[in-house]
Amino acid sequence: MARAVPLFSGSKGNSYYIGTSSEGVLIDAGRSCRQIENAMEANGLKMQSVGAVFITHEHTDHCSALKVLAKKYGFKVFASEGTLRELEKAQRILPTADTAVIENEVAVGNMLIKRIDTPHDAAESCCYRVTASDGKTALVATDMGIMLDGVREGAKQSDFVVLESNHDIEMLKTGIYPFYLKQRILSSKGHLSNAACADELVQIVKSGTLRLMLGHLSEQNNTPQIALATAIASLEKAGLKFRSDFTLDIAPSETRIQSVIF
């Protein structure tokens, strides 16, 4: 049975376990190694089930545990060439670590992981679509200023999708962030807003993907209630009923016992 476990999500750190209970991958490792171990254990998962770690980009909230994690468990680390270069430059990973560039698709055990590029203010960011050993697929797509066709297509072909719902535009505009930071978040290489996410979710559910999760919520410029309400309003306006036509969860910022079977 394929399962997605959001270990952490948001600006303090991001990490997802995707696979089955006995075989999976980690997408991002943006907390401490101990916190990831604890979150895995709380969800009944063993670190030994992790076949490899896939990093989306070099921002700290996606890779802070990587050095310790890769050393302690000998995990193979996949990322784009640009991301790997930045990780090495910032000493987020030891030169002796087992790393590989993912160009398009790679097999890890009985799983297949596909790279899909994302527009973000990082060297060469991407997101990943995982096909679990039972053939079910999950896409985790966060940290992107706009939705690109490649990500959209990847989402439509998945059984489960985590999509970024980073900020409420009004909260961001009237909030305490300095002007340059607001501009960065709102840019095409920033983060996806609740409204943009909600629009995309309508198309995704209409294509047949019924399990959804909102990810990378801002603590300053969003609340889980607002993000959820925005998405549900948009989906219901399109005639899709929450819980009967689709499921929708929030990826937690702190560890919770929470997984989605897809």
- When the beta carbons of 28 and 249 are compared against Zn ion, the nearer one is 28
Cβ count within 10 A of residue 38: 14
* Planar angle of CA 48, 128, 260, nearest 5 degrees: 65
Going across the sheet that includes 126-131, the strands are: 105-108, 111-117, 126-131, 137-141, 160-164, 211-215, 247-250
Interface residue with Zn ion among 61, 124, 159, 168 (CB under 5 A) is 61
Amino acid 114 reads K
The site for Zn ion, by CB under 5 A, has a size of 3
Residue 98 tokens read as 């087992």
Interface residue with Zn ion among 3, 59, 167, 211 (CB under 5 A) is 59
Q: Which residue's beta carbon is nearest to the bound Zn ion?
A: 59
Cβ–Cβ < 8 Å for 217, 166: yes
Q: Which string of x and - marks every residue 128-167 that binds Zn ion (by CB under 5 A)?
A: ---------------x------------------------
Cβ–Cβ < 8 Å for 35, 59: no
Cβ–Cβ < 8 Å for 76, 53: yes
- When the beta carbons of 59 and 182 are compared against Zn ion, the nearer one is 59
- When the beta carbons of 59 and 92 are compared against Zn ion, the nearer one is 59
- The residues in 5-24 that bind Zn ion, with binding defined as CB under 5 A, are none
Q: How far is the CB of 240 from Zn ion (least distance, A)?
A: 28
* DSSP-assigned states of every residue in 45-80: --GGGEEEEE---SSHHHHTTHHHHHHHH---EEE-
Piece of the chain touching Zn ion by CB under 5 A; list 52-60, 73-81, 179-187, 196-204: 52-60
Helix (H, G, I), strand (E, B) or coil at 92: coil
- When the beta carbons of 124 and 143 are compared against Zn ion, the nearer one is 143
Residue 162 tokens read as 């985590």
Q: Which string of x and - marks every residue 179-218 that binds Zn ion (by CB under 5 A)?
A: ----------------------------------------
Q: How far is the CB of 124 from Zn ion (least distance, A)?
A: 12
**Phi, psi (5° rounding) for residue 215?**
-125, 165
- When the beta carbons of 57 and 129 are compared against Zn ion, the nearer one is 57
Piece of the chain touching Zn ion by CB under 5 A; list 32-40, 55-63, 128-136, 248-256: 55-63
For residues 138 and 24, give the distance between their C-alpha atoms in angstroms, rounded to a whole number: 12
**Phi, psi (5° rounding) for residue 25?**
-130, 160
Q: How far is the CB of 136 from Zn ion (least distance, A)?
A: 26
Q: How far is the CB of 4 from Zn ion (least distance, A)?
A: 18
Instruction: Using CB under 5 A, list all residues that contact Zn ion.
Output: 59, 61, 143
